[in-house]
A and B are shown apart, each in its own frame.
Chain A
C-alpha cells in the first residue's frame, strides 16, 4: 500500500512497504501536484495583496497571481520544494514590473485619455469573518487604509522590497534574487522603505 506524506516544507515523501517499488511515475506525479497545490494555497493571499498594493487594481492583481501560478507550475514544479517560494515571488515581481511597463507604454500612446485609477482598494471590503465586531472592523479598516496609503506612496522597488523582506520574510539573498538586484541594493531599499513608512504613519496619526 502506498501513502504520501507532505511535510511542512512541501517536500513529498513516499512511504511504502519493502516489497513495493516507487518507480511508478503516475504516483509520483500525483504527489507532486498535491504538494505544489498546498504551497500555492499558502502564498496565494499574500501574493494577491502584494500585487494589489502595487497595481491598486483587484482584477489586475488576480491576473498577475494567476500568471505567476501557471508559470511556476509549468516551468518550475520539478525544482526542489525549498526553491518554490523565492521562484514564485521572482515570477510575481517580474509580472508586476511587466504590468508597469505595459501601463507606461499605454499611457504614452494614449496620453489624451484620463487615467482610470481604481480606488476600490481603499473602499470598505466585505467582511469575510463573522467574528469581527463593527468596532474592530472600523479600526482594522482605518489601520489598513493608513498602511495602504503609506505603502502606496513608496516607490515600487522600495515597496516590493519591504513586502518581500519584512512581510514575507525572505532573506536578503533571496530578495536580491527575486528583484534582480544586489544585496546592497536590497538593504538600501529596505532601509529607505522603513524610514518612509515611519514618517508617513507618524504624519497620519
Chain B
C-alpha cells in the first residue's frame, strides 16, 4: 500500500511536469507564429525605447554644430579687415636709428685703421 501511495504521488508529479512542458511548448510555438505586423511593431518599439534615451544627444550635437557654423559665418562676414601695411625697408629702419649707423661706421673705420697700420 505504501508503494501504491508513492507510485501515485510520482505519477501525479510526472503528470504535472507533462502539463507544464505541454503548456510551455505551446507558448514557445506561439512566439514563433507571431504575425509580421506584431514583429515589426515590437522591433520599432524597442528601437524607439533605446533611441529615446540617447535621442537628446544627437539633437544637441546637431544644434551645436549648426550654432558653430552660424557663428563662424557671421564672424567671417562681420570681422573688420585691416589693410595690410607694407613692411618698412631695412634701410628705413636703420635710418630711424642714427646711433646704430654711427656705431657701424665707427666699427668699419676701426677695421680700416687696423688694416692700414699693418700695411
Pick the residue among B24, B38, B52 that contacts A70 (CB under 8 A).
B52
Q: How many angstroms between the C-alpha atoms of A163 and B23 in the bound complex?
A: 10
Does the CB pair B35–A73 fall under 8 Å? no
Say yes or no: is A46 at the interface (Cβ < 8 Å to chain B).
yes
A128 and B23 contact, Cβ closer than 8 Å, known pairs A69-B49, A77-B53, A198-B15: no
Say yes or no: is B116 at the interface (Cβ < 8 Å to chain A).
no
Q: How many angstroms between the C-alpha atoms of A58 and B40 in the bound complex?
A: 13
Q: Tell me which residues across on chain A come within 8 A of B50, comparing CB atoms.
A: 33, 36-37, 40, 73
Q: How many angstroms between the C-alpha atoms of A82 and B45 in the bound complex?
A: 22
**In A46-84, which residues have CB < 8 Å from any B CB?**
46, 48-49, 58, 62, 65-66, 69-70, 72-74, 77
Closest chain-B Cβ to A4's Cβ sits at a distance in Å of 15
Q: Which residue of B lies closest to A141 (CB)?
A: B33
Interface of A is mostly: helix
Pick the residue among A74, A143, A194 that contacts B52 (CB under 8 A).
A74
Q: How many angstroms between the C-alpha atoms of A148 and B33 in the bound complex?
A: 14
Say yes or no: is A44 at the interface (Cβ < 8 Å to chain B).
yes
Q: How many angstroms between the C-alpha atoms of A49 and B57 in the bound complex?
A: 33
Pick the residue among B20, B26, B34 that contacts A45 (CB under 8 A).
B34
Q: How many angstroms between the C-alpha atoms of A196 and B33 in the bound complex?
A: 26
A167 and B45 contact, Cβ closer than 8 Å, known pairs A37-B50, A140-B33, A198-B15: no
Does the CB pair A144–B42 fall under 8 Å? no
Say yes or no: is B41 at the interface (Cβ < 8 Å to chain A).
yes
Does the CB pair A128–B22 fall under 8 Å? no
Say yes or no: is A201 at the interface (Cβ < 8 Å to chain B).
yes
Q: Tell me which residues across on chain B come within 8 A of A77, comparing CB atoms.
A: 53
Pick the residue among B15, B36, B48, B54 that contacts A29 (CB under 8 A).
B54
Say yes or no: is B95 at the interface (Cβ < 8 Å to chain A).
no
Mark interface residues in A75-98 (1 if CB within 8 Å of B CB, else 0): 001000000000000000000000
A62 and B22 contact, Cβ closer than 8 Å, known pairs A37-B46, A70-B49, A144-B30: no
Q: How many angstroms between the C-alpha atoms of A127 and B41 in the bound complex?
A: 16
Q: How many angstroms between the C-alpha atoms of A1 and B58 in the bound complex?
A: 23
Closest 6 CB pairs of A and B: A69-B49, A147-B26, A126-B35, A198-B19, A66-B45, A45-B31
By a beta-carbon cutoff of 8 Å, the part of chain A in contact with chain B is 29, 33, 36-37, 40-41, 44-46, 48-49, 58, 62, 65-66, 69-70, 72-74, 77, 125-129, 132, 140-141, 143-144, 146-148, 150-151, 162-163, 166-167, 194-195, 197-198, 201
Question: 29 A–B contact pairs at CB < 8 A?
Answer: A29-B54, A33-B50, A33-B54, A40-B50, A44-B46, A45-B31, A45-B39, A45-B42, A48-B42, A49-B34, A62-B45, A65-B45, A66-B48, A73-B50, A73-B52, A125-B34, A126-B35, A126-B36, A127-B33, A128-B32, A128-B33, A140-B26, A143-B22, A143-B29, A144-B33, A147-B27, A148-B30, A150-B23, A198-B15
By a beta-carbon cutoff of 8 Å, the part of chain B in contact with chain A is 15-16, 19-20, 22-27, 29-39, 41-42, 45-50, 52-54, 57
